Amino acid sequence: MNAALQGHTASTSETTATPEVLLQVKDVSLEYRTPERVVRATHQVSFEVDQGDRFVLLGPSGCGKSTLLKAVAGFIRPSEGEIRLGGTRIDQPGPDRIVVFQEFDQLPAWKTVLQNVMFPLLASRTLKRPEAEKRARYYLEKVGLSAFADAYPHTLSGGMKARVAIARALAMQPKILLMDEPFAALDALTRRKMQEELLQLWEEVRFTLLFVTHSIEEALVVGNRILLLSPHPGRVRAEINSHAYGLQSLGGADFQASARRIHRLLFDEGEEGTEPELDFQHLRLAY
């Protein structure tokens, strides 16, 4: 395998080893200012993401999950606590953390699909042009868009634009891929297809993923670990091991019961005895 592709090849071979903590978020409080006051978005949130995790931040609108993602990306500094990646404190953005946002019209319209994927590699001087093109084509093949390398963004569907954005992010071979409700703007069928493709891509590449959503069903499908955040300001309600579920679980009785229990944990609804007891391994309540 050429040097342009070494990074993720190495991470794939390491998946049989004991997972190592990659991201540490410790007692992080985040604030933002309005003309009237300072608003606390999260309060003393702590969690750890292991190498190769599909870690989901789940909570209602306004719980600070997207703000947390931006803090991990280095766009926002915590007012309290700290964030470390690979043991190094995060103080600013860096190529070891790449964000895929909800909107995909961030692809420059005058660049082809291939040029869009190559652009950050060239702009950051990560690779020279021949190596950048080779790596870009590799990830376009991974997301099933090799035949569209010379197409322009305006000719693509929403789902195809999402795949270009994912290929562009993975081509940088970041230590962690950050996704902020990336499929929320897509129709239901395309959203499910993108979830399926993301999971297939993870099986092949085994990247580390931090994924934000307000959909309980999406969290159960995409994540192997889920952090539940309370309504504003965001506090950790629970951390759940969700390995048992995937796209094939949608509609199943156990899946729906799990979704209902997560809803109760998020919003303090009802009594725990109103639903069948479920096997939530490594459930950690943090009230």
User: Residue 28's closest CA among 62, 53, 56, 64?
Assistant: 64
* 182 shares a domain with 167: no
Last residue of a domain, one of 119, 148, 173: 173
* 77 shares a domain with 14: yes
Q: Return the minimum-mean-pLDDT range out of 13-17, 65-69, 208-212.
A: 13-17
Residue 24's pLDDT is what? 96
CB atoms within 10 A of CB 189: 9
Position 197 pLDDT exceeds 70 = yes
Whether 190 is covered by a domain: the verdict is yes
* 193 shares a domain with 134: no
* 240 shares a domain with 126: no
Say which amino acid occupies 47: F
Position 120 pLDDT exceeds 60 = yes
Scan for tokens 């965001």, then name that residue. 234
**Residue numbers of the domain that contains 144:** 107-173
Whether 186 is covered by a domain: the verdict is yes
Last residue of a domain, one of 149, 173, 197: 173
Please write the tens of the pLDDT for every residue from 252-280.
Answer: 888 888 888 888 888 765 444 334 333 44
Residue 279's pLDDT is what? 42
What φ, ψ does residue 245 adopt, rounded to 5°? -110, 155
Whether 102 is covered by a domain: the verdict is no
Residue 92's pLDDT is what? 93
Last residue of a domain, one of 173, 204, 230: 173
Whether 270 is covered by a domain: the verdict is yes
The CATH number of residue 8's host domain is 3.40.50.300
The total of structural domains in the chain comes to: 2
* 126 shares a domain with 11: no
Give the pLDDT band of residue 39 (cuts 50, 70, 90). confident
d(C-alpha 136, C-alpha 163), whole Å: 12
* 153 shares a domain with 22: no
Whether 33 is covered by a domain: the verdict is yes
Residue 246's pLDDT is what? 72
Whether 238 is covered by a domain: the verdict is yes
* 86 shares a domain with 12: yes
Scan for tokens 């959503």, then name that residue. 213
Whether 218 is covered by a domain: the verdict is yes
* 280 shares a domain with 198: yes
Beta strands in 51-162 (DSSP E): 54-58, 80-85, 88-89, 97-100
Q: What is the DSSP string of 90-101?
A: P-S--TTEEEE-
Tell me the chain's radius of gyration from C-alpha atoms. Answer: 19
Sign of CA dihedral 103, 73, 15, 248: negative
Helices (H) and strands (E) in the chain, counts: 8, 11
Whether 45 is covered by a domain: the verdict is yes
Please write the tens of the pLDDT for every residue from 54-95.
Answer: 999 999 888 889 999 999 999 999 999 999 999 999 999 999
d(C-alpha 80, C-alpha 193), whole Å: 39
* 144 shares a domain with 203: no
Query: What are all long-range contacts of 239-246, with beta carbons under 8 Å and residues at least 24 apart?
Result: 239/47, 239/282, 239/283, 239/284, 239/286, 240/280, 240/282, 240/283, 241/280, 241/281, 241/282, 241/283, 242/56, 243/281, 244/279, 245/220, 245/221, 246/199, 246/221
Position 16 pLDDT exceeds 80 = no
What φ, ψ does residue 267 adopt, rounded to 5°? -115, 5
Q: Is 10 exposed, middle or buried (0-12, 13-18, 19+ CB in 10 A)?
A: exposed
